[in-house]
Chains A and B, each alone.
Chain A
Amino acid sequence: MAEEKKTTRPETEQEISRRSFFTKMGLGSLGIASAGTLAFAYRFLSPNVLYEASPIVNAGQAESYEVNSVTLHVKSAIYLVRLPEGFFSMSAICTHLGCMTAWKQDLGIIACPCHGSHFSREGKKLAGPAPKPLPWLKTWLSDDGDLMVDRSIVIHPLQFLRI
């Protein structure tokens, strides 16, 4: 009788008791369910459709910009700059914490009102806490002669658009 019991329930070191088996099963399935819930919550919290403005902006006729001018397009938060080397556009949103910068004609700098960062006309950081220069944005000429800017595509600086 005792022999028989030993064969059905071997007293080895790896033996797991009924209780610990079900505890592990329970905790394991709970863990899987939690992971699934988390993934579900993450997906649910990320909206699939956004009603936000298109990243591509029409900045108007190239000829309307004077040489050596910096124009802020307030609605689309971009600067359009025309230098003797050509056109370029860059984001007007401060790289520090997203405040809208402003062009100071008399000082020749771009200034952020929130935490006092200053940038040059080419977007280079001159002073303040901003970690990066203002990013240059992809700019091209449409078939109608309009300047087009894609705000979602950042290009390397000093790539002027020559016309």
Chain B
Amino acid sequence: MAGKIDDYLAKLERTRVWRSVFRGGTGSSTLRRALAIQQNVFLHLFSTKVRRRMLRFNATWYLGTLTLGTFLILVTTGILLMLYYRPAVPQAYADVKDLQFVVSSGLFLRNLHRWAAHTMVLLAFAHLFRVFYRGAYRPPREFNWVIGIVLLMITLLLSYTGYLLPWDQLAYWAITVGSNISATVPVIGEKVRFLMLGGHQVNANALLRFYVLHCVILPLAAVLFIAVHFWHIRKDGGLYVRQSEPVREPAKEDESVELEKV
């Protein structure tokens, strides 16, 4: 059975259509595998080879990868939630209630969106501190560190704008306080608040503006900066590696002890 499926897959990979899509060719040679990365518009952000010691969980804790994972979950669930949500007062609240109680799996999708969002903030902060404590921000990676900060800001802004959308008490007052903070900036503060809310009060205009920011502008910015972030890993020489970290896993217990003694 399994052999049959493998045969079909091998046949599929040899078809003209398949080869027109995946231009790196087929097979499992080093060249083919390198081309699988290099010939793909998304994957070519990465280098074709990575240092083996950087694949260890201890090296990165996979925090950046996991942050990307939460972002992918958020995009998927977010698009689905948009299908049942109208950014208007007071329909927005009723729609969220409908998602909770009427729409099939609506409750689950909203839960997943909310918890993934919290996790993303947590992971982004963890990633920041992890990168710092490893010293991976040092040149030539300094600009990628800056892009990381920008991505953290985008993450926080996404959380903040998403917070208003259910139009419940928590949302309303969090946004009231938040927009009043911006109003305290000297000279331009009041204007900034007015533009942010599209009025003097947190109301329908504010909800619509936050909706557009949350669903279009900020995700697009996030995708753009994530791409640059990944591409920079390759351009800056791969994941940062500490010279003190062993190149190979210590093969045996006693051998490593001997090495330390020497």
Contacts and interface: CB of A to CB of B under 8 A. Distances in A.
Direct contact of A and B (CB under 8 A): yes
Interface string B155-191: 0000000000000000001001101110000000000
Contacts of A114: 173, 177
Interface in A44-68: 45-47, 50-52
A47 B173 contact: no
A52 B177 contact: no
A99 B199 contact: no
A114 B169 CA distance: 13
Given A46-B194, A47-B205, A98 B177 contact: yes
Given A50-B199, A50-B200, A52-B199, A97 B181 contact: yes
Interface residues of B, number: 15
Nearest to B179: A98
Given A42-B195, A98-B177, A99-B173, 5 more contacts: A46-B194, A47-B205, A52-B199, A97-B177, A97-B180
A161 to B, nearest CB: 26
List the 8 shortest-distance A-B pairs measured between CB atoms, nearest first: A98-B180, A97-B180, A97-B177, A45-B195, A98-B176, A50-B199, A47-B198, A52-B201
6 contacts: A47-B205, A50-B200, A51-B204, A98-B177, A114-B173, A114-B177
Nearest to B181: A97
B39 to A, nearest CB: 37
Contacts of A46: 194-195
A52 B203 contact: yes
Interface residues of A, number: 12
A51 B204 CA distance: 9
Contact of B176 (A47, A52, A97): A97
A46 B11 CA distance: 61
Contacts of A96: 180
Contacts of B199: 47, 50, 52
Given A45-B195, A46-B194, A46-B195, A99 B203 contact: no
Given A97-B177, A99-B173, A114-B177, A52 B200 contact: yes
B195 A99 contact: no
Contacts of B200: 50, 52
Interface of B: 173, 176-177, 179-181, 194-195, 198-201, 203-205
Nearest to A41: B195
Contacts of B203: 51-52
A47 B194 CA distance: 9
Nearest to A47: B198
A163 to B, nearest CB: 31
A41 to B, nearest CB: 10
Contacts of B198: 45, 47
Scoring A46, A52, A97 by chain B CB atoms within 10 A of each residue's CB, the highest score goes to A97
Contacts of B180: 96-98
A50 B203 CA distance: 10
Scoring A51, A52, A96, A98 by chain B CB atoms within 10 A of each residue's CB, the highest score goes to A98
A136 B177 CA distance: 22
A52 B204 CA distance: 10
A46 B205 CA distance: 11
Interface string A109-134: 00000100000000000000000000
Contacts of A51: 203-204
A91 to B, nearest CB: 13
Contact of A99 (B176, B179, B181, B204): B176
Contacts of A45: 195, 198
Nearest to A42: B195
Nearest to A50: B199
Contacts of B195: 42, 45-46
A42 B173 CA distance: 26
B160 to A, nearest CB: 15
Nearest to A95: B180
Nearest to B196: A45
A26 B6 CA distance: 60
